[in-house]
Structure 1
Amino acid sequence: MPFPPSQPEDSHDIRPIISKKHEIVLFSSTAIALYGYDQGMMSLVNTNRSYLRTMQIAETSPMVGIIVSIYYLGCTVGAVVASFWADKKGRKPSIFACLATCMVGNILMFVAGLSTNGSDTWGGAALAFMLAGRVILGLGVGGIDAVIPIYSSELSKDEARGRALAQEFQMNIFGLLMAFAINLGVTIALGKDNQWAWRIPIVVMQIFPILLISIMGRLPETPRWLIRKERKRDARKALVALHGESKAEDMLDELHRAQEEESDEKIRYMDMLVPGGSQFHPSMVTVMGQINQALTGYGAVSVYGPQIFELLGFGVREAEYVTLGNYISYFFMMTVAWMSIDVLGRRKLMVWGSLGLASCFALLTVFGGLSLDVRRAPVLVVEILGSVTLFVATAIFGICWLATVWLIPTEIYPSGARAQGSAISVIIWGLANFTITLLTPIGFNNLKYWLFLVFAVTNTFAGWWTWRYSPETGGRSFEENQEFFLSAQDDKSWVVKKVDAGKFLRMPREEDGEGGKATSDENAPLLASNS
């Protein structure tokens, strides 16, 4: 037996080193690190001269942004296909298919233009292979982003939903940091004219899907999906593996009751995306959350970090070193994110985060202008102040925006709309980041440091929209969050302060008799742990 079943939690035999629950958390964390790695991977590939010659493009060509951004179009398609497959055939088969797709796309990127001389264009086919690889990789990663949240939420419970998700997203930043560090290391060792300086970081990405596929056999299918498919015996086995023999029967009965009580009404995408549909309002909260996150500009910072520091006056190599330092800071500052998200709430973090980012980008506009247009400006002072400002902006984004917009959809949709809601979130994330990463290099080439001012304006809009229309969903059960959308219908307004007397402007308070009730299966966290 290649993957022997682990001992149940209440077994008197020797227990495994880590529990099945922790295996699921590690699996989810590694999956999240996968798409973080891709963001960091392309940042230095874009500036490798061998890569540019092989693709037959200039560093200032719009094709640089197209190669990066077309990946996100693949993500949008992959999210829809994988969500459908996850409902039809199961969460695990869908995840396996997505991981296999990632491997194919990554290989196509790695072999594009591969030759002994290091810059063979393959008669123009190298660019075609790279574009195809980016799209196929996007199909896989988009599917993973849609299905992993469903898989994890159906296997885990934790009242600290925000903390659990923010901890998992810290691994996203670890993937970003790992990719950039490998990229920088091989670039320093081999130089920007060596093809292996850009091929090695690409092929290293294979570690993630290989590792995930190798441990999938140890993990159970979700009991909720098995119950929906009337596979009671398999559902019981999964519950025993997760919670032990003594708890399995009670939990199985609970899942049966939940399935019987659940509405038979099928929720379609039309119900979620067409005005007047039963889930249109929560879908617009989800859609605008992802759009506003893209408008913060941090998809661009993740992919084009070195170029941004160059706008502040750094040389190429110095900009790469400072970018690495920024990513290290980013990773550690995510600790503050999971310590604060369930204390301060999602809404407050996003609103204040947008104001902080707008201020930082306004300052960066000034520093960029001093660096490039004012000859007598003290270069070192501008570089230091600009770097500190960008480090602060990165920390603000990680704490306030990175995890929150992925968490909110898991708290506002009923189980019948969970898969579609997750897919919509990934689709909008993909389309929004496609637009931002496509336009950013064009902005660098034409606007220079004025691009920072654009991001200051877009952050101001993101903060205003969130303050006006996004309810506070933290600390409340699924049923309590549904009250907001029902009250919005009764009050004929989506403005948070006008709905239910402004009840959803803030986290629930104990003195109001609210809070502490977020225990229903319906509001299970996106990616939870028992730590």
Structure 2
Amino acid sequence: MPFPPSTAGDTAGTKPTISKKHEIIIFSSTAIALYGYDQGMMSLINTNRSYLRTMAIAETSPIVGIIVSVYYLGCTVGAVLASYWADKKGRKPSISACLATTMLGNLLMFIAGLSPNGSDPWGGASLALMLAGRVILGVGVGGIDATIPVFSSELSKDGARGRALAQEFQMNIFGLLMAFAINLRVTIALGKDNQWAWRIPIVVMQAFPILLVSTISRLPESPRWYISMDRKDDARRALAALHGDAKAEDMLDEIHRAQQEESDEKIGYIDMLVPGGSQFHPTMLAVMGQVNQALTGYGAVSVYGPQIFELLGFGVREAEYVTLGNYISYFLMMTLAWMTIDVLGRRKLMVWGSGGLATCFALLTVFGGLSLDVGHISVLVTEILGSITLFVATAIFGVCWLATVWLIPTEIYPSGARAQGSSVSVIVWGLTNFTITLITPILFNNAKYWLFLVFAATNAFAGWWTWCYSPETGGRSFEENQEFFITAREEGSWAVRKVDGGKFLYIPRKEKDAEDGKDVPSETAPLLGSRT
């Protein structure tokens, strides 16, 4: 049994058990790790000779990038379908359908070109089945990425928003690390010419959706969805399972009042995507956040890590070991992310992160040039300096950019638009990563180390745009963040330094509770709670 029996609260004299709240955290983190696993899985499959022969492609073929990138197109479709299904049928049915879709896509990838001796009797059908599996897998994972944040936030009420999300994204990196470690281990054991060296990492991915499907029945449905469907008794039972009978009735009344208030304001995609729409400004912030995260280049680094280290002068196996070390560092440094995101704020982290990444990639351009084009420079020197720089760049991205762009959309939309905002964010994430992962192998093969200079420039742009137009949303309640958009509309400017006298340039200071003098950060306010 994945989880031991749980209760809504501990009883004196009984053995402590895992609460429903902790089960929700474990479930959400495992679901997010699913996406990270795919990134780490494909990074070594792309260089497996048996895989390339089975797909009938060369290592330098642009089809390598196409196989990776079509996954993200599937994600965009999955985000739209899952969000619609979650509103119509419930969060849990939507998630279950996405998990089933994920298992199907993964299975198609596993059997593509399968044969007893590892030859390819399938002809072009192998590539066709692999592409279909990648798209279907993307539909499932994209739906999970769009639905899980809404589901977990509607079931969780306490705690800092940034810290919670950053901790979940640390599990995303754990999934990436796990996949690469398994991939590297079987590659070393079986060799790059063995079909099982790339099929085993693929089929191991099935453990994630199987575990999630087997445990989702233990979790309650969203009380907010029950209320929206006029199922008040079901909502009461869900709240009692989470918070106990004593709190359930008060929370039920609160959610019901919030639902009545939200029902008066219907927001559609037209309001979000058309200039002049009521939610066009926050939507552009969500869109540009995902675009700028893609422009940092770390979608490419995650998938093509070994090839990047080879550009710095490492041999194939050495590059794979150093990539593993980089992912371990990545996972550990994510601890710093959830320690700082609610203290320094989202905006400051992203601006500092862009500056640091632009510097690191500029240095990597120099080291790559010295490694490949300057004969009298020691390769060991460029390997060491380049590796340190790339390790630092990875840490900067994890701390400053990985979780922030996913957090901001949950803080800038009214409740009536939050589900659609999450969907738009996933769609843009899918399209931008499709583009980056598609062109990266082409740039590897043609631009070589000059690719780093491209990323240095795109990071500089991301930092400039964030400084000019992205407000600080941390440490503020929903109503306070809405003041930025109202004032921006009244003053006719999106520039943060001009809106409300630059009030949203920085995270606000904590206020003192009038009764007991304690610090009460507004960040701990319920994400979807009613603040009337």
1:517 aligns with 2:511: no
After superposition, the Cα gap between the structure-2 partners of 1:99 and 1:267, relative to the gap in structure 1 and judged at 3 Å, is: same
Measured after TM superposition, the shift of residue 517 of structure 1 is 2.8
Measured after TM superposition, the shift of residue 523 of structure 1 is 4.8
SS of 1:180 mapped into structure 2: helix
Q: In 1, distance between residues paired with 2:291 and 2:56?
A: 33
Q: Matches of residues 57-456 of structure 1 in structure 2 within 5 Å? A: 57-456=57-456
Mean Cα displacement is larger for which, 254-263 or 237-246? 254-263
Q: In 1, distance between residues paired with 2:367 and 2:12?
A: 64
Match in the other structure for 1:44 = 44
Check the 8 A contact 2:161/2:524 in 1, yes or no: no
Q: In 1, distance between residues paired with 2:463 and 2:520?
A: 25
Measured after TM superposition, the shift of residue 159 of structure 1 is 4.1
Check the 8 A contact 1:362/1:456 in 2, yes or no: yes
Q: In 2, distance between residues paired with 1:174 and 1:518?
A: 26
Match in the other structure for 1:492 = 492
Check the 8 A contact 1:509/1:515 in 2, yes or no: no
Q: Identity percentage over the alignment?
A: 81
After superposition, the Cα gap between the structure-2 partners of 1:121 and 1:131, relative to the gap in structure 1 and judged at 3 Å, is: farther
TM-score between the two structures when normalised by the length of structure 2 = 0.96
Check the 8 A contact 2:158/2:525 in 1, yes or no: no
Q: In 2, distance between residues paired with 1:226 and 1:362?
A: 52
SS of 2:238 mapped into structure 1: helix
Q: In 2, distance between residues paired with 1:489 and 1:121?
A: 62
Measured after TM superposition, the shift of residue 105 of structure 1 is 0.1
Measured after TM superposition, the shift of residue 264 of structure 1 is 2.1
Asked which structure has the greater RCO (Cα within 8 Å, sep 6+), the reply is 1
For 1:455, the aligned partner's letter is F
TM-score between the two structures when normalised by the length of structure 1 = 0.96
Q: In 1, distance between residues paired with 2:303 and 2:104?
A: 22
Check the 8 A contact 1:224/1:255 in 2, yes or no: yes
Query: Which digits, 9 at most, give the CA deviation of each residue in 1:225-273, with x for residues without a partner?
Result: 1111111111111111100111111111111111122242321111101
Identify unmatched segments of 5+ residues in structure 1. 525-531
Measured after TM superposition, the shift of residue 116 of structure 1 is 1.4
Query: Which digits, 9 at most, give the CA deviation of each residue in 1:8-31, with x for residues without a partner?
Result: 326568466210000000000000
Query: Which digits, 9 at most, give the CA deviation of each residue in 1:281-327, with x for residues without a partner?
Result: 00000000000000000000000000000000000000000000000
After superposition, the Cα gap between the structure-2 partners of 1:379 and 1:473, relative to the gap in structure 1 and judged at 3 Å, is: same
For 1:169, the aligned partner's letter is F
Measured after TM superposition, the shift of residue 132 of structure 1 is 0.1
For 1:366, the aligned partner's letter is V
Q: In 2, distance between residues paired with 1:182 and 1:10?
A: 38
Match in the other structure for 1:29 = 29
Mean Cα displacement is larger for which, 296-305 or 8-17? 8-17
Q: In 2, distance between residues paired with 1:519 and 1:307?
A: 43
Check the 8 A contact 1:296/1:459 in 2, yes or no: yes
For 1:381, the aligned partner's letter is V
Check the 8 A contact 1:411/1:523 in 2, yes or no: no
For 1:126, the aligned partner's letter is S
After superposition, the Cα gap between the structure-2 partners of 1:482 and 1:287, relative to the gap in structure 1 and judged at 3 Å, is: same
SS of 1:343 mapped into structure 2: coil
Query: Which digits, 9 at most, give the CA deviation of each residue in 1:158-188, with x for residues without a partner?
Result: 3411111111100000000000000000000
SS of 2:384 mapped into structure 1: helix
Alpha-carbon RMSD across the aligned residues, in angstroms, is 1.7
Query: Which digits, 9 at most, give the CA deviation of each residue in 1:429-477, with x for residues without a partner?
Result: 0000000000000000000000000000000000000000000000000
Q: In 2, distance between residues paired with 1:198 and 1:119?
A: 14
After superposition, the Cα gap between the structure-2 partners of 1:205 and 1:307, relative to the gap in structure 1 and judged at 3 Å, is: same
Check the 8 A contact 1:118/1:194 in 2, yes or no: yes
SS of 2:219 mapped into structure 1: coil
Q: In 1, distance between residues paired with 2:15 and 2:453?
A: 56
Query: Which digits, 9 at most, give the CA deviation of each residue in 1:85-122, with x for residues without a partner?
Result: 00000000000000000000000000000001213150
Query: Which digits, 9 at most, give the CA deviation of each residue in 1:341-378, with x for residues without a partner?
Result: 00000000000000000000000000000000000111
Check the 8 A contact 1:294/1:429 in 2, yes or no: yes
Measured after TM superposition, the shift of residue 330 of structure 1 is 0.2
Q: In 1, distance between residues paired with 2:22 and 2:230?
A: 27
For 2:499, the aligned partner's letter is V
Match in the other structure for 1:529 = none
Check the 8 A contact 2:49/2:192 in 1, yes or no: yes
Q: In 2, distance between residues paired with 1:73 and 1:382?
A: 37
Q: In 1, distance between residues paired with 2:511 and 2:151?
A: 36
Q: In 2, distance between residues paired with 1:69 and 1:256?
A: 43
Measured after TM superposition, the shift of residue 123 of structure 1 is 2.0
SS of 1:123 mapped into structure 2: coil
Q: In 2, distance between residues paired with 1:34 and 1:222?
A: 22
For 1:285, the aligned partner's letter is L
After superposition, the Cα gap between the structure-2 partners of 1:352 and 1:518, relative to the gap in structure 1 and judged at 3 Å, is: closer
Q: In 2, distance between residues paired with 1:161 and 1:471?
A: 17
Q: In 2, distance between residues paired with 1:284 and 1:26?
A: 32
For 2:341, the aligned partner's letter is I
For 1:411, the aligned partner's letter is E
Match in the other structure for 2:516 = none
Q: In 2, distance between residues paired with 1:254 and 1:201?
A: 47
Match in the other structure for 1:8 = 8
Q: In 2, distance between residues paired with 1:180 and 1:3?
A: 27
Q: In 2, distance between residues paired with 1:243 and 1:512?
A: 28
Q: In 2, distance between residues paired with 1:210 and 1:197?
A: 22
Query: Which digits, 9 at most, give the CA deviation of each residue in 1:411-443, with x for residues without a partner?
Result: 011111111101000000000000000000000
Check the 8 A contact 1:40/1:180 in 2, yes or no: yes
SS of 1:217 mapped into structure 2: helix
After superposition, the Cα gap between the structure-2 partners of 1:184 and 1:519, relative to the gap in structure 1 and judged at 3 Å, is: closer
Match in the other structure for 1:479 = 479
For 1:68, the aligned partner's letter is V
After superposition, the Cα gap between the structure-2 partners of 1:182 and 1:271, relative to the gap in structure 1 and judged at 3 Å, is: same
SS of 2:265 mapped into structure 1: coil
Identify unmatched segments of 5+ residues in structure 2. 514-518
Check the 8 A contact 2:227/2:256 in 1, yes or no: yes
For 1:60, the aligned partner's letter is T
Q: In 2, distance between residues paired with 1:425 and 1:506?
A: 24
Mean Cα displacement is larger for which, 501-510 or 256-265? 256-265
Check the 8 A contact 1:508/1:515 in 2, yes or no: no
How many residues align? The count is 523
SS of 1:342 mapped into structure 2: coil
SS of 1:497 mapped into structure 2: coil
SS of 2:476 mapped into structure 1: coil
For 2:521, the aligned partner's letter is G
